[in-house]
């Protein structure tokens, strides 16, 4: 059974291992460009943890997954091309930096149950080559809304789910 809690500074070594495993899963599935070597950085994780946005999933007391759950507004979502948000007025939460250890299952489902407890408006973006994430987004009722650009200028597919 997966248990979600707010991450602490003490979790950082385990989180970095989870993020490395997530990068390897992406590479093995053909998603070669979303997370270059060294990304996400420990500094980014610390910035997630500071205000309480970083979340870990534990199984049998061991950190097995990580994601950042950040309340709006997110500046990278201010401009969307080739489409539009389902709702651009209501507050929303954004999921960033989601990763898991390879042997763990049910992470997306557990994350969605957690998010449904705090919001009815979720936005997520992903790389065009991240077919695993796109499959999960489709499975859980997200709608493709258009293209956004992250801070580096790289293009991302943007999705939203309203309940």
Q: What are phi and psi of 86, to 5 degrees?
A: -65, -35
CATH number at residue 81: 3.40.630.30
Domain of residue 77, residue span? 3-162
What is the Rg, in whole angstroms, of the alpha carbon atoms belonging to the chain?
15
- Rounded Cα distance between 49 and 15, Å, is 11
Mean pLDDT of 119-124: 98
Asked whether the CA dihedral 106, 109, 112, 114 is positive or negative, the reply is: negative
Distance of alpha carbon 162 from the chain centroid: 17
- What band does 126 get if pLDDT is binned at 50, 70 and 90? very high
- Rounded Cα distance between 130 and 144, Å, is 14
Strands 143-149 and 121-126: unpaired
Strands 54-59 and 3-6: antiparallel
Question: How buried is residue 43: exposed, middle or buried, by Cβ count under 10 Å (0-12/13-18/19+)?
Answer: exposed
Instruction: Please state whether the peptide bond connecting residue 32 to the residue before it is cis, i.e. omega within 30 degrees of 0.
Output: no
pLDDT > 90? residue 73: yes
pLDDT > 90? residue 38: no
- What band does 1 get if pLDDT is binned at 50, 70 and 90? confident
Instruction: Please state whether the peptide bond connecting residue 37 to the residue before it is cis, i.e. omega within 30 degrees of 0.
Output: no
- What band does 37 get if pLDDT is binned at 50, 70 and 90? confident
- Rounded Cα distance between 122 and 131, Å, is 19
Residues 7-34 pLDDT 10s: 999 999 999 999 999 999 999 999 998 9
Count: domains in the chain: 1
Contact 96, 156 (CB under 8 A): no
Whether the model pTM is above 0.75: yes
- Rounded Cα distance between 133 and 124, Å, is 10
What integer best gives the mean pLDDT of the chain?
Answer: 96
Residues 139-159 pLDDT 10s: 999 999 999 999 889 999 999
């Amino acid at each position: 059974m997966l248990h979600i809690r707010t991450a602490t500074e003490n979790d950082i070594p385990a989180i970095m291992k989870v993020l490395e495993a997530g990068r390897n899963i992406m590479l093995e599935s053909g998603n070669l460009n979303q997370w270059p070597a060294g990304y996400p950085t420990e500094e980014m994780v610390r910035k997630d943890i500071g205000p309480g946005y970083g979340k870990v999933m534990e199984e049998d007391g061991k950190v097995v997954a990580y994601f950042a759950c950040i309340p709006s507004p997110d500046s990278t979502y201010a401009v969307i091309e080739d489409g539009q948000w389902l709702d651009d007025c209501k507050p929303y939460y954004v999921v960033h930096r989601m990763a898991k250890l390879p042997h763990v299952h049910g992470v997306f489902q557990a994350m969605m149950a957690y998010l449904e407890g705090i919001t009815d408006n979720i936005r997520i973006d992903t790389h065009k080559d991240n077919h695993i994430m796109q499959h999960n987004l489709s499975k859980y009722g997200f709608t493709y809304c258009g293209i956004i650009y992250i801070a580096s200028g790289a293009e991302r597919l943007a999705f939203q789910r309203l309940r």
